[in-house]
Each structure stands twice: as structure tokens, then as C-alpha cells.
Structure 1
Amino acid sequence: MVDRYVDADGLVITLTDGVLSLRLDDQRKRNAMNDGSLRAMVDALERAQSDEQVRAVLLTGAGADFCSGFDIVARNAGGGKPRTGSIQRRLPAQAHRLIPLLCELQVPVVAGITGYAVGLGMQLALASDFVLADRTATFWEPFVARGMTPDSGATWLAVRAVGPLRARRLLLLGERLDAERARDWGVVHEVVDDAEASAEELAARLAAGPTVALGLTRKLINEAADAGLREQLEREAFALELSSRSPDFREGLRAFVDKRDPAFEGR
């Protein structure tokens, strides 16, 4: 059942059976994001943080491509030299809010990648828990080819996804990854025939799961790289305490005793 539908400046937002779908739709520009679609995605994710109906997030792109990055041509159409500090002031209000929101959500995030996932588009994929790509997918960090330094968390995300050696190949050499190579590098979890349909199916599966436990587990995974073993064990104990108080935990135990599949409600 579709609970909500919003079409906002190149971003189609729907909430269906617990899955918040954020679908980029500006096919003339290969689904490049702009100020409006960035704001709309940030607003949707901020609302999702406190919306118990949202149990998973799905990221896709309409047509042949996922996302070709940020539309820097439109941003700089007026010409002229950027004022000192203008980029540093602007980024925290846009892409630098979006990526932390995705990484810190208390629900799983699934990305279905077709065609280009470039720049900010690649960052959206790297910030997701699961990335399903078809054989047309191409992942590329184009910053060095534009004479730019990386933004939107590219350095942080790439190092965690592929390690510092391969991150250098992505960010200093601008190497492109096709779907198979991206899977071999750990950027893509699975190469499929229909990325969007497969991603929708996986997001629905996650949305039917124990949302509290999934969110806490996601948080533990994302924090593990920066924690020592003992610190992480303490975090696991705290998370287990929280999840064991949830109705879904009790349902899971009842289902185990009754020898049936659990019917989780996301609480």
C-alpha cells in the first residue's frame, strides 16, 4: 500500500509498506542532483529519523542511470569566480548533511544501481548497506578529472569500502569500476539482471524485519572500524539490552518456541 507520494524537483518520494523510496528522476541530466533534489532528500531522511512507519530506505534512479553526481553546470551557470569561502559555507547545507543522515539512519538502506553512479551518486551507493547493480553500472569518482578535490564524504566512504590502496586508485587516478569489478572490490554486493526489482525485493524483506534490532546492528557495524574490541563489546551489550526490550524481540522468542516464522511489527 502506498502511504505517501511526493514529486519534488527531480526526486520522487514514496512510502510503501514500510519502505521509503527515494527515486531520482531527471533523466535529461542522467539524474544529476540539484539544490532542490538535495534539499528534498535531506528533508525526507530527517523526517524518516522520527517516523516509525519507515522501516527501510530504497535509493534508485529513473531510466538508464542511477545518479551522475551533482549538477555543477547549473550551479555555475552564472559564470564568474567563486567567492572565498562560498563552497565551504554551502556544502554543509547540502551534500555534507545528506551523507551523514544516510549513514546514521536507524533503518537499513538499499541502493539499486543502473548505469552511472558518479560522484555524489557513488557516495549514495557507498553509504548504503546493500548495493545491487546490473551489468550496465559504472562507478566513478570524477573529481580529479575536473581539477577538484573530493567532497560529500568520498574520502571517508571510499577508504572504508575498499581500503586506502584502492581508494587512491579511485580518487587520485579516477579509475572507473564496471559492475563486476565493483563487486570484486566490495562496492557492490551482487550483480543482478534487474537492479531496481532486486533492490525493491530486498528493501521489502528488510522492512518486514525487526526494525529496532536491524537499526542497532547497522549502527554497530558502522562504528566498528573506529572502535577497539572491548569498546565494541560494550556497545554490543548496550544494544542487546535495548533490543531485548522491544516487542519484536518477544515475538521472535515466541515464534522460535512455536516453530513458526516471526511476524515482526517494527517495534
Structure 2
Amino acid sequence: MPFNFVTEKVDVHVAGRVATVKMNRPEALNALDKEMIKGLVSRLKEISVSDDIDIVVLAGTEKAFSAGGDIKAMLSLKDEYEFLSIMDCINELIITLHSLPKITISAISGPAAGLGFSIALATDHIIADRNAKFAMNFIGIGLIPDGGAHFFLAKSIGERKAKQLIWEGKTMSSEEALGKGLVHEVADDLDSALKDRIACYLQKPIQAMIKTKKIFAEVNRPHLLKVLELEKYAQRKMRETEDHQEGIRAFTEKRKPRFVGR
């Protein structure tokens, strides 16, 4: 099949009507750097024009879905334009994934944190291994969520609960995330649950399902684009704060940050 290939950071395998897109930086818990983000965008766009694929599974490796944005890469960023370029790549990934004319499933084991969690929320269905962990933990380094998290969380749990979840930034178990309405399934055997979900979808009139998705995506596109743009420029401002600098220092020094509200 034309989409079967393996790169250093993104693998794609096609089996019948299902494409599996795998983030593959296990040594970094699949932290998302610019190269991986651009790779995901490129692969998803290729898949989007295939009439042979109806379902896309987004997955990580055995120990992690994605630990979020690559903080080490962030530390090396000195150029504001490079930062904005990365934010543009993130926004393109989210729009591409959200509007993909396929049914999308996130299969999550290990952590789905920060941007990794945002990406999962952009898919249609989330299946989590019972031992998976979820965290919208940008607040821990003095940043705001990006990747459209404000949009997806408000849609999933409402604005008031979304604010509390963002401000707390705590790590949740799969069961906690399920109870909050942030994931759809928790499984003892992730592979088995994923196979069952795919089989269920493939027995349905899936083109009708995709058409419904496309209608919702088109209706919500202006709102999502606005949120992504607001996140982009707000995140740039947050990077200039004392609290963000302290959050990064505390992260690298493996200690609790001492924020001052500036």
C-alpha cells in the first residue's frame, strides 16, 4: 500500500480500510518536536485523499502515547519567529486531524499529557489502557494549553469544568478521565478493545458517519481556528513571564516551582 512506511519519528501502516499512524520517539516518551508534528501533518494529509481508508488510528509506543511538547526543544528556542512557526505547525496538525474525512481513534497507553492530550481530544474516539495517565499540565511550567485544548475541553465538559481542569493541571487516571467524559472507553486489553471498536465501525454505514463528522467539523471550524490563533499569541506572551522561566528551571532541576504571579 502507498502509505506503508516507517520514518524515524512517524510510522504509518495500512491494513484494509484502516491506517495506523504511530508516533515513534520512545526514548522521549513521544514528546512532540517540530519534525514529528510536520511528519504527522504530512502523513494525515496523504491519508485524507485516499478513498481506500475509512478509519485512522493514532497511537504512540508501548510506554507512552505522548508526553506532550518537547521541553528540551523549547529550551533551545531563542527566536520568536521559530516559536511562532512551531505554533503554526501545531495548529495545522489540529485542524488537519479535526477535519480529516475519516473516523479517527486515539489508542492510548502510558501518558497523554499537554499537547499529547490535546491531540487525542482532536480525534473522534479515545480508547485508553487502564494504566494510561492524562494531564493537561501546561500550568506546571507557567503556560496555557495549546493544540486547541480550550476548544475541545469546553466542548467535552463545559467551560467551567474546563477552566478548573486547566488550572489544576493534575494527572488523572483512565477511570478519572472516563468519569469526566474525556475518554470514551477504558480497556484492560487495549489491542483487543481497539480491534472490537474498528470491527464495530466497519460494520456500520461508515460514509454516513463520516458525513456527520464533516458537517460538525465545518460548523465548528471558525471557532476552532479562532481558539488556535488566540492560543498561539497568548502562549507567546506566557513565554515572556517570570513564572514560565521559573517553571522551566524547576522542571530541569526536578523541583517544585515557586511562582510569583508575574
TM-score by length of 2: 0.77
When structure 1 is superposed on structure 2, of 200-209 and 24-33 the one drifting more is 200-209
After superposition, the Cα gap between the structure-2 partners of 1:39 and 1:86, relative to the gap in structure 1 and judged at 3 Å, is: closer
SS at match of 2:57: strand
Counterpart of 1:106 (choices 77, 92, 101) is 101
Residue pair 1:112, 1:198 contacting (<8 A) in 2 also? no
What is the distance in 1 between the residues matched to 2:74 and 2:160? Answer: 32
The residue aligned with 2:86 is 90
Query: Residues 186-230 of structure 1, C-alpha deviation per residue, up to 9 Å, x if partnerless?
Result: 11111111223322432344245434212111234456779xxxx
Q: Higher Cα Rg: structure 1 or 2?
A: 1
Q: Map 1:7-156 to 2 at 5 A.
A: 7-77=6-76, 82-92=78-88, 94-156=89-151
Tell me how far apart the structure 2 counterparts of residues 207 and 174 of structure 1 sit (CA, whole Å). Answer: 37
Between the aligned partners of 2:34 and 2:40, the Cα distance in structure 1 is 10
1:43 Cα deviation after fit = 0.6
**Alignment check: 8 A CA contact 2:31 2:67 kept:** yes
Specify which structure has the higher proportion of helix.
2
Gaps of 5+ in 1: 227-267
Deviation of the 1:136 alpha carbon: 1.0
Deviations 1:34-79 (A, max 9, x none): 22221111011111221101111001111121111121213433x6
- The Cα of 1:31 is off from its aligned counterpart by 1.5
Residue 166 (1) aligns with residue 166 (2): no
Q: 5+ unaligned residues in a row in structure 2: which ranges?
A: 222-262
User: Contact 2:115–2:145 at 8 Å: present in 1 too?
Assistant: no
Give the Cα–Cα distance (whole angstroms) in 1 for the partners of residues 10 and 113 of structure 2.
Answer: 17
Residue 37 of structure 2 contacts residue 93 of structure 2 at CA under 8 Å; is this kept in 1? yes
Aligned-partner Cα distance in 2 for 1:167–1:135? 23
TM-aligned CA deviation for residue 129 of structure 1: 1.2
State the Cα distance separating 1:176 from its structure 2 match. 2.2
Q: Offset of 1:86 from its aligned partner?
A: 4.0
Alpha-carbon distance in 1 for matches of 2:171, 2:214: 30
Please give the root-mean-square deviation of Cα atoms over the aligned residues, in Å.
Answer: 2.3
Q: Distance in 2 between matches of 1:135 and 1:220?
A: 33
Q: Normalising to structure 1: TM-score of the pair?
A: 0.76
User: For this pair of structures, how many residues does the alignment match?
Assistant: 222
Alpha-carbon deviations, 1:95-126, whole Å to 9, x = none? 11111111111111111111100012111211
1:146 deviates by 0.8
Partner of 1:262: none
- What letter matches 1:159 in structure 2? A
Shift of 1:20: 1.2
Amino acid at match of 2:39: A
Report if the CA contact (8 A) 1:20-1:54 is conserved.
yes
SS at match of 2:4: strand
User: Does 2:207 align with 1:212?
Assistant: yes
SS of residue paired to 2:62: coil
Q: Letter of the 2:212 partner, please give it.
A: T
